[in-house]
Amino acid sequence: MPGSGALRLPSRTLVVAAAAVPLALAVLADDVRVRRQLHTARRDPLTGLPGRDILVERTARFAHTRRERLHVLVADVDGLKAVNDSLGHAAGDALIAAIGRRLSAWAADRGGLAARLGGDEFGVALLLPPADAVREVLALRELLAQPVHHDGQPLRDIEGRILRPAVSIGIARASDLPDAADASRILRGADTAMYQVKTGQQPLGYVATRQDAYAPAVHGRRPGRPGTHLPAA
């Protein structure tokens, strides 16, 4: 007949295993909580959009799998400073938040991703048929130009007219750039294209060239950005 110690061994094993279950669940819950916190931390608090790093990751993934359809857009809100100065920063925040929501919904409907790059600039990575890209961007600009509501009323300029946001948009088509152009280089092409549209050098719908994607940087930023005239620190 087996000894009493042998009879107690399975019970001890069950007790130890039962005690380990809550600990394992606690560790799992803590891991989920940390992941959620990191996910939240990587999003812009005003718009809820991810930042540049997430956009670059998505662009790199698309460039690897569907390069022939990959388009990257950079959008810059025109006249934000005037809104802040005349209507207040709360109105400016409402404008940025509205543009972010519209861009995010537009991109998601096309299987893409929108991100806030900082200040009044946004980026989008999505897959489009090359023949449709310019038409889509022209329609997007009209969508973004719809009135924005703040405190239950549409934003108005200092003369009382309903404000219709203007947004400059640059396009980079990955298939137009060398295969060696990585996600950051494609994004730079869209950024340079946006700046040329914003300054009137090119019309809306302008698509970045190889020269735009490989434009020299000043202190790591596109020439023409505020601060690029200053000496490097």
Return the SS3 of 48.
coil
Question: Encoding tokens for residue 41?
Answer: 């931390």
pTM of the model: 0.77
Taking only the tens place, the pLDDT of each residue in 131-178 is: 999 999 999 999 999 999 999 999 998 888 999 999 999 999 999 999
Q: Encode pLDDT of 70-124 as tens digits.
A: 999 999 999 899 899 989 999 999 999 999 999 999 999 999 999 999 999 999 9
pLDDT over 70 (residue 33): no
Which of 161, 187, 186 has the alpha carbon at shortest distance from 175?
A: 186
Q: What is the pLDDT of residue 215?
A: 87
Contact of 50 with 123, CB cutoff 8 Å: no
Percent of residues, the chain, with pLDDT higher than 70: 76
Question: CA–CA distance from 56 to each of 53, 114, 130, 198 (Å)?
Answer: 5, 11, 20, 23
Q: What is the C-alpha to C-alpha distance for residues 43 and 147, in angstroms, rounded to an integer?
A: 25
C-beta atoms surrounding 91 within 10 Å: 18
With bands split at pLDDT 50, 70 and 90, how would you rate the model's confidence at 10?
Answer: low
173 by DSSP, 3-state: which? strand
Q: What does the pLDDT read at residue 158?
A: 83
| Burial class of residue 120, CB neighbours in 10 A (0-12, 13-18, 19+) | buried
Tell me the catalytic residues: 120
Report how far residue 115's alpha carbon sits from residue 126's, in angstroms, rounded to the nearest whole number.
12
Q: Is 101 exposed, middle or buried (0-12, 13-18, 19+ CB in 10 A)?
A: middle
CA distances from 228 to 72, 120, 224 (A): 24, 18, 6
